[in-house]
Amino acid sequence: MPLVVLCGRPGSGKSRRAAELREALGGPEREAHVVAEAEGGRAALRAEVERRLSRRDVVIVDAGNELRSIRYELYCAARQAGTARCLLHCAGGAGGPDEPPFEEPDPSCRWDRPLFTVRGEEPLPLGAIRAALFESAPPPPHRATRTQPLQSCGFLHQLDRVTQDVLAAVLAAQRSGAQPGETIRVPGVAEGLVLSRPVSVAELSRLRRQFISYTKMQPSDENMPQLASMFLQYLSRSIQ
């Protein structure tokens, strides 16, 4: 059954909205589960969402989901499960200096739509949310469940090359004496990576494999210009 992904800054009311959704979408015919951020971080949250997704129940993700890369992973999970999804943006709130940057949802990105935004005490657009979840056509079979088409080979080659280049830049910076807290730059990418601690080759390689596994679920030429940026965001979020 469907996935509802909440996103927003701390203090924007996500947990209150998740409780409202649970009451409104659950019932005798289906359960509504709220999956919240907990110890274990991003990987644990994603694993719990994937475990809960089924053909019957509704899964509501009560988390900041600040980065596009996080929302993309949840989008891929829903596609893999063959279920509808939507994104609820709780506007407002104020992140502190230690909070990760919040990347506003962009309805032009398929992983950020259908998008609903609520502010303050505005009522939830429950009619539109129900229509998106229960009345929309099911998504087509996920590419990960089929033989990859030949046209995706260029995407996969680019994905491999870009992630290798990012890892090479991170390792080179560490060898050159980059300290925790310093910004590591990758040629050709506007965003930098700030590491809180040194990271081994083995850990970086593992994260690269995970990122490739999720990203190649939905190969698309639209993503090519953003691959390095998405990988940097994934590393930033995963390395705590």
**CATH architecture label of 3-135:** 3-Layer(aba) Sandwich (3.40)
- For the chain, the domains span 3-135, 153-239
> 181-215: buried (b, 16+ CB within 10 Å) or exposed (e) per residue?
eeebebeebeeebebeeebeeeebeebbeebeebb
pLDDT of residue 35: 92
pLDDT of residue 240: 63
Of 94, 92, 102, 95, the residue nearest 122 (C-alpha): 92
Exposure of 100 by Cβ count < 10 A (0-12 exposed, 13-18 middle, 19+ buried)? Answer: middle
Contact (Cβ atoms closer than 8 angstroms) between residue 240 and residue 104: no
pTM over 0.85: no
pLDDT of residue 147: 37
Predicted confidence (pLDDT) per residue in 175-196, tens digit: 998 888 888 988 888 888 888 8
Low-confidence stretches of the chain (pLDDT < 70) are 38-40, 55, 95-98, 138-153, 217-224, 240
Any residues with CB less than 8 A from the CB of 163 and at least 6 apart, and which?
A: 208, 211, 212, 227, 231
- For residues 169 and 163, give the distance between their C-alpha atoms in angstroms, rounded to a whole number: 10
Exposure of 165 by Cβ count < 10 A (0-12 exposed, 13-18 middle, 19+ buried)? Answer: middle
